[in-house]
Amino acid sequence: SSDVCSSDLIKLFAQRWYLLGRFGNGKFSVFAFDRIVEAELLPERFEIDPYFDAEDFFGECYGVVVGDRTPLQHIVVRAYGWERFSLFDRPLHHTQRLLREGDGYNDFSLDLRPTSDFKAHLLSRGRWVKVLCPASLAEDIRLLHREAMEMYEQEGPDLS
């Protein structure tokens, strides 16, 4: 699940809480609460820009990866088996729309930036989700699957 609290600049994504912070130079960064080692209360007060909207800031993103210059893309994925029903219950993104229902599959469209966290999610769905377009994203996912497969084919130490 993914929720944004605009006033607090806190985001819940993949069962982890994140804090959106801004440095003195104006650049934003996302910090996972469970990875913050130390925090210090300073006398300076931070004023949130009244025109800043955290939902807009994350709106084109799948999760919390922002600012890596990944362009916005129109994406079509095909979901097979139970995954086609799961995507109704838990959409990948707020732009997700059903395009067509086929025999054993559903095609969905999304408009987002396919950052590393989105690609990782697609990979985690294995053979149950296939990218139909854009071709460049489909090729990226295919190569990542191939690299994973090659890791399993390599002989390594028997640790049993």
Does the N-terminal peptide bond of residue 134 adopt cis geometry, omega within 30 degrees of 0?
yes
- The tens-digit pLDDT sequence of the chain (160 residues) is 455 444 458 888 888 899 888 776 777 888 898 998 988 888 877 777 788 888 888 899 999 998 789 999 999 999 999 999 999 999 999 999 999 999 999 999 999 999 999 999 999 999 999 999 999 999 999 999 999 999 988 877 777 7
Radius of gyration of the chain (CA): 19
Please state whether the predicted TM-score (pTM) of the whole model is above 0.75.
Answer: yes
Rounded distance between C-alpha atoms, residue 160 and residue 6, angstroms = 50
